Chain A
Amino acid sequence: MTSSTSVSAKNLYKVFGRRPKDAVRKLQNGASRNEIGTQETAAVIDASFDVKPGEIFVVMGLSGSGKSTLIRMLNGLLEPTSGSVTIAGTEIAGVPAATLRRVRQQNVSMVFQHFALFPHRTVLDNAAYGLEVQGVAKAERLERAQKIVKIVGLDGWQDKYPSQLSGGMQQRVGLARALATETDILLMDEAFSALDPLIRREMQEQLLELQAELGKTIIFITHDLNEAMFLGDRIAVMRDGRIVQIGTPEDILTDPANDYVAQFVQDVDRARVLTASSVMEPARAVVPLTAGPRGALRVMRDLQAGAAFVLGRDLTLLGVVRDSHVMRQVKANDTDLAKIINQEHASVSPDAALVDLFELAVESPLPIAVVDDNRRLLGVIPRVTLLAALGNVPTNTSPMAVIEPVSIIPDAELDTVLAQGELAASTAGQQGDN
C-alpha cells in the first residue's frame, strides 16, 4: 500500500448464515441478494474503496444496507467472508488475533452508536482505557486522557460516571476515549444518531473543528444524508449491501449515479452542501486599477452595470466602485481610481456553504465576490444564481441578467461624460507634457 491510502477495502463480502462461502460464490457469479438461499443473509456485497489519510469518508445508507457490518470489518470485529481490508499497510482479514489486537491498539479506534461506555469507570478512566490497553503507565495515561477530556469540552466532569452525564456528553466521552489513543484512523458508527438534533449539530461542528486540528482519517457511518453531506469529504452511498456511488457531496447531489441516489438526495438541504465555488460565475464587471475611472465607466456602460470590481496586481480584489462615484471623478478630472474604492463589499471563500451566503446577499446590493486565500477574485455569486442553485435550476440554459444593480445613470449621459472626460484627459496630458 502506498502512503496515499489509509484504509483500503477490496471486494469485501460478508454473508451471515450456514454456508457463507457458497453464497459469496453465487453473488460473484451475478446472483442477486435474494437468490442466495434462505439460510444466508448477504450484509455486504463486493464493497471496494480507498480512504485517503486525513479524509472524512462517510458511508451512508438506510438501516439494513450493511453499513454497520462494513465498518465492523474495517477493524476486524467481524471477519470478512471474502475480500481484503488493509489498515495503514497491514492486511487484517484472516490474520491471527494478536496481529489484529496490535492494529486495533495502534491504528484504529472506534466510536459507537450507543456510546458503549464502561458504566463502572469514571469519565477519565473511560478516556484512558485505550491507553491502558496499550500498556501506557498509569500516571501518563491519566494525564493524556485528562488533556483529551478537556479538548472535547468535559473539563470538570472527569470524576463522574457515564450514567451521570447527558447523551451528548456521553458521546463526548466516547470520542475522547477514541482520540486519546492517538490512532490515525477513527471509525464512527452512527456516532451522533442517538443524539437530539440540536446536540447532533453541535457535535458535528465540533468534530469538524477537531478534525481541522488533528487531521485524522475518519470513516463515519450514518443514515442521515444531511449529516453525510455536512461531514463528508467523500460519501459512499450503500443500498442492499452494495455501494452504489462514491463521490464528493457535490458529485452525489449534482450527478446522482441512479434513481435511488437521486431520490435520496431530493430532501437534502442543498444550501448546506453546495459551496460558493460550485455555483459562482465568472465576474464580468471587472476593472483593473490601472484602467482608471474612465476605463471603469466604460466597462460599466458596456455591461449596463452600476458598479464594478476593481482588481489590483495579481488579480487581487481591491474593492468595488459605483458608477455615480466614478462619474463624479471623471467630471472632476481625477485619474486615481483607488480613492473611491469601497472595500466594504461582501466576499467569501470558495468553500463557504450557500447557507452562509443568504444574509450577505440580502445586505449587499452587489453580487457576492468569491476570493481565495490571497484575495484573488475567483468569481461572483449574484442573487439570482444563489436562488437558482437552491432550486437546482441550471443557470446557463437561458440568458439571464445576472448583474446587479442596474445602472441608474442613462447611457446618453454616460457617453457625454466619457467623451468630455477623454477630451479633458487629453488636454491634461498635453498640459503635463508641457
Chain B
Amino acid sequence: MDDFRIPLGKWADQGVDVLTDTLRPLFDLIRLVFTAIYDAVEFVLITPPFWVIILAAVVIAFMVKGWKFAAGTAVGLLLIVGVNQWETSMESLSLVLVASAIAIAIAVPLGILAARSDLASTILRPVLDFMQTMPAFVYLVPALIIFRIGVVPGIVATVIFAMAPGVRLTELGIRSVDSEVVEAGQSFGSSPWRILRQIQLPLATPTIMAGVNQVIMLSLSMVVIAGMVGAGGLGGQIVQALSRIDVGLGAEAGISVVIIAIFLDRLSGALAGKRRSPLRWFTGRNKESQKLAA
C-alpha cells in the first residue's frame, strides 16, 4: 500500500510540456493578441489626464443611474487620485475590462449552446465546477509556463476563473424563457436562429446581464493574484505591500480596488436592470413602428 501512488502531478506536468511543445505557435498568437488588446485599452485609460477619465466615468454614471451614482463616482475616483493609485488603478481596470470582455465573449456562446443541447449542458457543468473551484494559483503556474511573465497569464487565469457564472446564467436565462412564447415563434415558421436572436436572447437579457455582472466582479477579485505574475496594477502594489509589510500602501491599494469594484458593480447592475435591453442593437429593433403609427 505504501507504494501506491497515482502520479497525477507527473501527468499534469507532462501534459503541460506536451501542450507547450505542440501548441507553441497558438499560445504565441494568443499572447500577442491579448497583449495588443490590453495595451490598447490601457493606452486609452492612462494617456489622457485623470480628470478626463473621471469626467467620462461621471457622465456614464449619470446616464445609466442618475446624479447620486455620478456624485459617488466622482468622489471615489478622486479619492484614488488622492492616494496616488491612479495609474495602477487604470492598469487594473484595463485588465479587468479585457479579461471580462474575453470571458463574456466565450461564456455567452457556451451558455447558448448549453441551453440548446442537454448533452452540452451535461458536459459543461462539471467543467465549469472545476474552473470555478480550482484555486486560481493552481492554473497560474501552467499559465506562467505557457505565456511567460506579464499581463497575459493574469488575463488567462482571470478569464478561466470568471467565466463560469457567465455560462451558467446565460443558460438559465435562455432556458427560463416562457416555452409558449418560443412555441409562438416556431408556430409562425421562424428559424431557430431567428428565435434565438429575436425572442430568447432579448427575453434572457436581464439574466445574462446578471451573469455579466458576476463575471466582472470575479475578474476584479483576480486582480491581486494577477499581480503576482507580473501583471502590475493594484495587484502589483498589494503584492509589494505584502512583501514589505507596508500597511499604508496595502490600505491605499486595497481601497482603490474596492472603489473600482463598487463602480463596476453598480454600472453593470444598472445596465442589467434596465427595462430596455442593452442588446437591442443586436436584436434589430428600432423606432420605425412608432413613426408609422404617428
Contacts and interface: CB of A to CB of B under 8 A. Distances in A.
B235 interface: no
A125 interface: yes
A77 B289 contact: no
Interface stretch (A137-145, A234-242, A256-264, A331-339): A137-145
Interface stretch (B75-83, B177-185, B211-219): B177-185
Contacts of B240: none
A104 interface: yes
Contacts of B178: 114, 116
Interface residues on chain A, size class? 35 or more
A118 interface: yes
Contact of A129 (B183, B188, B202): B188
- Top 4 nearest A-B pairs (CB, nearest first) are A105-B189, A104-B189, A116-B184, A110-B187
A108 B199 CA distance: 20
Interface in A122-143: 122, 124-125, 128-130, 133-134, 138-139, 142-143
Nearest to A113: B180
B290 interface: yes
A75 B185 CA distance: 12
Nearest to B178: A116
Contacts of A118: 181, 184, 198-199
B274 interface: no
B21 to A, nearest CB: 45
Given A116-B178, A146-B292, A159-B290, A77 B186 contact: yes
A227 B199 CA distance: 32
B180 A109 contact: no
Contacts of A110: 183-184, 187-188
Contact of A112 (B183, B203, B292, B293): B183
Given A117-B181, A125-B289, A159-B289, A109 B187 contact: yes
B293 A130 contact: no
Interface residues of B, number: 25
Choose among A114, A118, A134 the residue with the greatest number of B CB atoms under 10 Å from its CB. A118
Interface of B is mostly: helix
Interface in B31-89: none
A133 B202 CA distance: 17
Nearest to B294: A159
B14 interface: no
Interface string B187-210: 111110010001100110000000
A181 interface: yes
Contacts of B184: 110, 112, 116-118, 177
A47 B224 CA distance: 67
Choose among B180, B189, B277 the residue with the greatest number of A CB atoms under 10 Å from its CB. B189
A105 B188 CA distance: 5
A124 B181 contact: no
A92 B248 CA distance: 74
A221 to B, nearest CB: 14
Contacts of B190: 101, 133
Given A102-B189, A122-B290, 17 more contacts: A72-B183, A75-B187, A77-B186, A77-B187, A103-B189, A104-B187, A116-B181, A117-B181, A118-B199, A119-B181, A125-B285, A128-B289, A130-B188, A130-B189, A142-B288, A142-B289, A142-B292
Given A124-B293, A133-B194, A138 B186 contact: no
Given A114-B180, A116-B183, A120-B277, A109 B188 contact: yes
Contacts of B285: 120-121, 125
A86 interface: no
Contacts of A248: none
Nearest to B181: A116
A146 B199 CA distance: 22
B293 A158 contact: yes
A105 B191 CA distance: 11
A72 B289 CA distance: 32
Contacts of A102: 189
28 contacts: A77-B187, A104-B186, A104-B188, A108-B187, A110-B184, A112-B180, A112-B184, A113-B180, A116-B180, A117-B181, A118-B181, A118-B184, A119-B181, A120-B277, A121-B285, A122-B290, A124-B293, A128-B289, A133-B188, A133-B190, A142-B288, A142-B289, A143-B292, A146-B292, A158-B289, A159-B289, A159-B293, A177-B184
